[in-house]
Amino acid sequence: MKNLLFASLFALAAAPAANARIQTKVVDYKDGDVVLQGYAAWEDGFRDSRPGILVVHEWWGHGPYARRRAEQLAKLGFTAFAVDMYGKGVYAKDHEEAGKLAGAFFADRSLMRRRALAGLEQLKKLPFVDQKNLGAIGYCFGGTTVLELARAGTDLKGVVSFHGNLATPTPATEKPKAAILVLHGADDGFTNPGVPGFLEEMRKVKADWQFVQYGGAVHSFTVPEAGTDTAKGMAYNKEADVRSWQAMHSFFDELFSEKRGK
C-alpha cells in the first residue's frame, strides 16, 4: 500500500498540466568558429525535469525530418534537441553533395564526436532537462554519430541507431556507459558489411547492446521521402518504421520510466 501511494504521488508530481503543449525553438550555437542551428522541442507544463534526447540527422543535413522526430519525442515526454552537424543553412541538394558532407565526418571521427558533443551541451541547457538522464538517437549518418558518442564513453543512458553505418576506425576499447540499441534493415546493402565487426566489437567490450533486424527493410526504412522502390537500396518501409519507433520507445521506457513519469 505504501509503495502504491508513493507511485501515485510521483505520477501526480510528474504529470504535465492539462493545457500542456509542444514548444519548439530554433537555437543558434557554435562549434569553434562554425555557426550551427539546432531545433529544440519539449512539452511545457511539467513540474519536474525530463530526460533529454539528442537527435542526429541523416547525411542530408539538419532539416524537417530531424525536427519532426524531435517533436515526436517531445510528445512522448522528453525534451529533444535536433543537432546540426554541418553548419547553419547547410543542406545537401543531392546524393553526391550529401556524400561529400558526410564523408568529411566519416573520415574524421574526432570531428564527428566533437560536433555532436556541441549539440549535447545545447540540449543540457534546455527547459526541464534532467542532465543525469540523457540519450541520443540518429538516422543513417546520425546513427553512426550516436554510436561514436557511445564508443567515446559519453555520459549517456542510451543511444539508438536507425539504419546507421556500423563500421568504425575507432572501435570502443572499454564498455560504453550508454546502453546501445541498433535498429537495422535486414536487406540494407549499404550497411550490412559492417554488421559482423560491430557485433564482435560489442561482445569484446561487454557492452549493453541490442541488435534488431527488420525483414524486407533496406536503407532509410524510416524515411517516407525515400520512396518505396527497394531496388534503389533506399526505401521507406512503414512496418519497419512503426516497429523501430516502438522499439526505441520501449528501450527508453526501460532506461527512463522513473524519471519521465509516463
Per run of 10 residues, the mean pLDDT along the chain (length 262 residues) is 34 45 95 97 84 98 98 95 98 97 98 98 92 97 98 98 98 98 98 98 98 98 96 97 98 82 45
Q: Which residue has the cell 534546455?
A: 126
**Residue pLDDT, tens place only, 216-228:** 999 999 999 999 9
Question: Per the structure block, which three cell numbers stand in for 213?
Answer: 533486424
Residue 103's domain spans which residues? 2-260
Structural Rg of the chain based on CA atoms:
18
The DSSP bridge pattern shows strands 50-56 and 22-31 to be unpaired
Integer Cα distance of 234 and 189 in angstroms: 9
> CATH no. for residue 29?
3.40.50.1820
- Find, among 15, 6, 76, 73, the residue nearest to 47 by Cα: 15
**Residue pLDDT, tens place only, 144-191:** 999 999 999 999 999 999 999 999 999 999 999 999 999 999 999 999
- How many domains does the chain divide into? 1
Beta sheet of 158-162, edge-to-edge order: 22-31, 34-43, 79-82, 50-56, 129-139, 158-162, 179-185, 209-214
